[in-house]
A and B are shown apart, each in its own frame.
Chain A
Amino acid sequence: MNEDEIRKILLEELGNIAPEADLEKLDPAAGLREALDIDSIDFLNFVTAIHRRLGINVPELDYPKLFTLDCAVTYAASKLTARVTPSEAGAVN
């Protein structure tokens, strides 16, 4: 899965959490919680969605690494890459 696909999934889940937000105008470098008015339950729903959609179990200590959309995409991509050896990389969906 490349970064564009990850970004698409994360935006979809943010849309489920904050349906009234205009995600096309979301600054990918802005703090998600401020930009989308997300509280701790919303954020937990976001982390739960990342687990469900991407299979990444984000520990609480890593929550700061999901601060912005760009950070979250980079973080998820690095976790997915770390899970596969180069020879398997082509088979990852």
Chain B
Amino acid sequence: MAEFRMPSLGADMEAGTLVEWLVKPGGTVKRGDIVAVVETQKGAIEIEIYEAGQIEEILVPPGTKVPVGTPLARLRGEGEGAAPAEAPSAAPAPGVAPPPAGRPVPSPLVAAGAAVAELASPAARRFAQTSGIDLSAIEGSGPGGAIVLADVERVQAGKKPAGGLDLDAMRAAIAAAMARSKREIPHYYLRHEVDVTPCEEWLERANAERPPSERLLMAALEIKSVALAARRFQAFNGFYRNGRYEPSPAVHMGVAIAIRGGGLAAPALRDADTLSLSELMPRLRDLVQRTRVGRLRSSEIGDPTITVSSLGERGVEVLYGIVYPPQVALAGFGKAVRRPWVIDGGIVPRSVITITLSADHRVSDGHAGALFLAEIGRLLQEPDKL
């Protein structure tokens, strides 16, 4: 028997509100399934489960705020026998029995004889109530046509232009994390100017043949180059926790994403070093979109191993980042600018990006940082190999 607990979604999180269950008692789950939605300062986060098995019992009802580590549900592992039945009153309600596989069953909630007009999850009901949305006007996408939170949110999004983000809470989370960083992490900073003309020329050629949905952006090259360098330079990819550094074998790239209206989140693009640019780009677009509507997954929030922050085309030339604890490094990219550049003794106009490294002196020194930063610059000279 295992317990599924309220995960820690970042160093600054102490508690979370369970907003919605996406599984029912008796339901089976596999590793990586999204089983619940938790509301945090970073918005609503989809929580993944890391064990396979059957949900035995749900311990925390929707709408409850509990500390990190609180058991949320009991899970019977694969191959484990059923737990002995408890009190007779604990017999499962007809509505929650798993439907037999292979044949259509009527909506379990309807079968249970619910006389209410609409089938809706408690979270959907609550959200509809607070947003003044009429449930009877919504078509549900949940089991048996039940209205789930996402359906109401869709209606809400169409009705009123507003994200699912609480920007004040997000500001408080940024403040807590950055204050901790400035208090605890002895930063050092390096900067390196890199000729990215090869990247721009390569992108122009690659994108000329691609429809818009498959086009690549400079940001994808930046992320991939840092990911590859981070895989090689272990002192910049991992966590500083409990007084010691733990390098990470995987590279989960935190991507700093600005929220319009004032806000910032840096969720992880997981295993960024193993993705081709054509795989990385749609993942990046998806991540940016979900971050801005406040719909991230727990694995994306909890475990970036290093972060990239890129100002993009409308920014300025240099960004000096603050390391996001418990990470130990952040690579910052300014906007590309045309500069006179010396090549083979002649001066030519080239596109130049200033890349910075902010890193933790408890783990690495400027010498290693310089080699790491130079490696990123070198990788960007051969975009076709990224």
Binding site for B on A (CB under 8 A): 15, 18-22, 33-34, 37, 39-41, 44-45, 47-48, 50-52, 57-60
Contact between chains at B313 and A40 (CB < 8 Å): yes
Residue B346 interfacial (CB < 8 Å)? no
Identify B212's interface contact among A18, A21, A44, CB under 8 A.
A44
Contact between chains at B161 and A19 (CB < 8 Å): yes
Task: Please name the residue on chain A nearest to B167 by beta carbon.
Answer: A20
Contact between chains at B162 and A40 (CB < 8 Å): no
Docked pose: A8 CA to B258 CA in angstroms: 27
Residue B374 interfacial (CB < 8 Å)? no
Identify B285's interface contact among A20, A41, A60, CB under 8 A.
A41
B284 contacts which chain A residues (CB < 8 A)? 41
Q: Please give the distance in Å from B311's CB to the nearest CB on chain A.
A: 9
Contact between chains at B161 and A22 (CB < 8 Å): yes
Residue B276 interfacial (CB < 8 Å)? no
B261 contacts which chain A residues (CB < 8 A)? 20
Q: Please give the distance in Å from A53's CB to the nearest CB on chain B.
A: 11
Contact between chains at B163 and A44 (CB < 8 Å): no
Identify A33's interface contact among B285, B293, B314, CB under 8 A.
B314
Contact between chains at A60 and B314 (CB < 8 Å): no
Task: Please name the residue on chain B nearest to A49 by beta carbon.
Answer: B212
Residue B180 interfacial (CB < 8 Å)? no
Q: Please give the distance in Å from B140's CB to the nearest CB on chain A.
A: 22
B289 contacts which chain A residues (CB < 8 A)? 45
Identify B211's interface contact among A19, A40, A45, A51, CB under 8 A.
A51
Task: Name 13 interchain pairs, CB-CB below 8 A, sorted by A.
Answer: A18-B260, A39-B258, A40-B219, A41-B217, A41-B284, A45-B285, A45-B289, A47-B215, A51-B211, A51-B213, A52-B213, A57-B211, A59-B208
Identify B161's interface contact among A15, A47, A52, A57, CB under 8 A.
A15
Docked pose: A2 CA to B213 CA in angstroms: 25
Main secondary structure of the interface of A (DSSP, over half): helix
A-B contact count (CB 8 A): 55
A40 contacts which chain B residues (CB < 8 A)? 217-219, 312-313
Q: Please give the distance in Å from A21's CB to the nearest CB on chain B.
A: 7
A44 contacts which chain B residues (CB < 8 A)? 212, 215, 217, 285
B219 contacts which chain A residues (CB < 8 A)? 40-41
Q: Please give the distance in Å from A23's CB to the nearest CB on chain B.
A: 8
Q: How many residues of B contact A (CB 8 A)?
A: 25
Docked pose: A34 CA to B313 CA in angstroms: 11
Task: Please name the residue on chain B nearest to A37 by beta carbon.
Answer: B260
Task: Please name the residue on chain B nearest to A21 by beta carbon.
Answer: B161
Further contacts, 13 of them, CB under 8 A, given A19-B157, A40-B217, A45-B289:
A15-B161, A19-B293, A20-B161, A20-B162, A20-B261, A34-B314, A37-B260, A39-B312, A39-B314, A40-B312, A48-B213, A51-B213, A52-B213
Task: Please name the residue on chain A nearest to B161 by beta carbon.
Answer: A19
Residue B184 interfacial (CB < 8 Å)? no
Residue B288 interfacial (CB < 8 Å)? yes
Docked pose: A83 CA to B7 CA in angstroms: 55
A57 contacts which chain B residues (CB < 8 A)? 211-212
A22 contacts which chain B residues (CB < 8 A)? 161
Q: Please give the distance in Å from A39's CB to the nearest CB on chain B.
A: 5
Within 8 A of A (CB), among B166-219: 204, 207-208, 211-213, 215, 217-219
Docked pose: A41 CA to B179 CA in angstroms: 30
Contact with A along B140-169 (1 / 0, CB 8 A): 000000000000000001000111000000
Task: Please name the residue on chain B nearest to A15 by beta carbon.
Answer: B161
B285 contacts which chain A residues (CB < 8 A)? 41, 44-45
Q: Please give the distance in Å from B347's CB to the nearest CB on chain A.
A: 27
